[in-house]
Structure 1
Amino acid sequence: MPPLHSLVPTAATAPAPAAAAPLTPPTATSRRLALSALGSLGVATLWGCGGGGDSTSTDAGTGTDSGSGTGSGTGTGSGTGTGTGTGTTTTCSVVPEETAGPYPADGSTASNNTYNVLALSGIVRSDIRSSVGSSTQVSGVPLSITITLTNTKASCAPLSGYAIYLWHCTQDGNYSVYSSNNIADNYLRGVQATDANGTVTFTTIVPGCYAGRMPHMHLEIYPTLASATKAANKIKTTQLAFPTALLSSIYSANSGYSASVRNLASITFATDNVFSDGTDLEMTTMQANSGGGYSASITISIAV
């Protein structure tokens, strides 16, 4: 498969890219929203997610202490004391706005083309390892990723019924649609609506690492599933990051990620053009699962 970063297709024609070459790193758009300061409460945080939006917090504590003593000639004394305290903190912050990169296929013009997989029948799906209507799955280490969406303006309450469009590159760093200049090749792209808990789960593969970027996934958030048909309707664009040490281990153990081993060794979050200002609000939690693959999860927040 040709290197995507060397693709410069035109609307009329698009040359076939050369295989397995690094992609040109996307150019980051406007970066972070200002992070909101967390209150210095001496209590446990029950739920946190992100930095830079409205937040609420509560704290309550009660305590009692009593003592008594008597003495005559000789003295005796007794005392008892009890104390109880409870506290809760609910705080979350808006996930940063990030670039959609050069390969969104969301109806916007990118890489000299205007592709829109969001208009395809069948793009609403949880398993994105194949193209819509195809049973052929892309190669890669299995990954289940769960995304929970919450509202900074409602004490971090889950947001139900919002649509999340997720897309990412293959194990060798290529993006569907653009690598073949064919919208029918739309693997590793899909849309789902959040459930009552604000959650969606996609079945996919561990993304590869191409030259110039840390491994990542892209996502766009839409207010409803019905509105998730073109980029003009989105209310947030961001990216997800993954733990470097675990990815390095996965890449080294799987030959399909050989290019990713080299690319990951030559970049860090500090030098990445999107994540260099921090990943606290975009870093997933990731671990091996019993099925031989991996599971990742993240809670992200928006202000609506």
Structure 2
Amino acid sequence: MLSESGIVRSDITSPFGDASGVAEGVPVTVKLKVYDLNGSDATPLAGAAVYLWHCDRDGNYSMYSADVADENYLRGVQVAGADGTLEFTSIFPACYSGRWQHMHFAVYPSVDDATTYANKLRTSQLALPEDVCNDVCGTASGYEQSASNLAQISLSSDGIFSDGYSLQMASVTGSVDEGYTISLNVPV
């Protein structure tokens, strides 16, 4: 996937290449700031590449889940600017059975290094705040199954976040009607 032409893009709601589906859901802008923690100071990691991927509003992962195996939306790579920041346009992910609402990401030294998973500096996930998840699942069209799933899980019972999530908890502003901005500082 990482070596595919078109993977470097900011809007990950649409497919690239021969895929044709578009991910529907509550719109989000994902803003990440990547820091280099080598030494005593945290400095922006300019030129770092971040691969971001997450499920759609039905809890399916493009390329993997049977219903969307031929799709490649909700996956993309962006390169950090001089200040270490980058952003993606996406949708709010589902809460599927057994998992809190989240997004996955991997950080690479550069876009040239982001052609194989073996070159990654860090792999992690960002967690979404409970109040925002409740708003989306409780009021947004298409997230009805997420509401049921969210009622059955907590951050402390999630298999990934149960060991701690303070550095993975994103800050979120906005609303269901206007869309959300999801922000996270990513130390590497």
SS of the residue corresponding to residue 161 of structure 2 reads coil
Matched, 1:127 2:11: yes
The structure, 1 or 2, with the larger RCO (C-alpha pairs under 8 Å, 6+ apart) is 2
SS of the residue corresponding to residue 107 of structure 2 reads strand
Residues 216-295 of structure 1 mapped to structure 2, 5 A cutoff: 216-288=102-174, 292-295=178-181
Q: Distance in 2 between matches of 1:235 and 1:190?
A: 17
Describe the superposition over 1:26-55 as per-residue Cα deviations: whole angstroms up to 9, x where unpaired: xxxxxxxxxxxxxxxxxxxxxxxxxxxxxx
SS of the residue corresponding to residue 256 of structure 1 reads coil
Matched, 1:185 2:71: yes
1:233 offset after TM fit, Å? 1.1
Matched, 1:162 2:85: no
Q: 1:148 aligns with which of 8, 26, 33?
A: 33
1:251 offset after TM fit, Å? 1.2
1:137 offset after TM fit, Å? 2.2
Q: TM-score, normalised by structure 1?
A: 0.58
Contact 1:289/1:295, CA 8 A, preserved across alignment? no
Contact 2:46/2:83, CA 8 A, preserved across alignment? yes
Residues 1-20 of structure 1 mapped to structure 2, 5 A cutoff: none
1:280 offset after TM fit, Å? 0.8
What count of residue pairs does the alignment treat as equivalent? 186
Partner of 2:98: 212
SS of the residue corresponding to residue 276 of structure 1 reads helix
Q: 1:137 aligns with which of 4, 19, 22?
A: 22
Structure 2: 5+ residue runs without aligned partners?
Answer: none
Alignment RMSD (CA, Å): 1.8
Matched, 1:203 2:109: no
Structure 1: 5+ residue runs without aligned partners?
Answer: 1-116
Q: Which amino acid aligns with 2:48?
A: Y
Q: TM-score, normalised by structure 2?
A: 0.93
Q: 1:217 to 1:142 in 2, by over 3 A?
A: same
Q: Distance in 2 between matches of 1:212 and 1:278?
A: 16
Contact 2:127/2:165, CA 8 A, preserved across alignment? yes
Contact 1:163/1:223, CA 8 A, preserved across alignment? yes
Q: Which has the larger radius of gyration?
A: 1
Identity, in percent, stands at 44
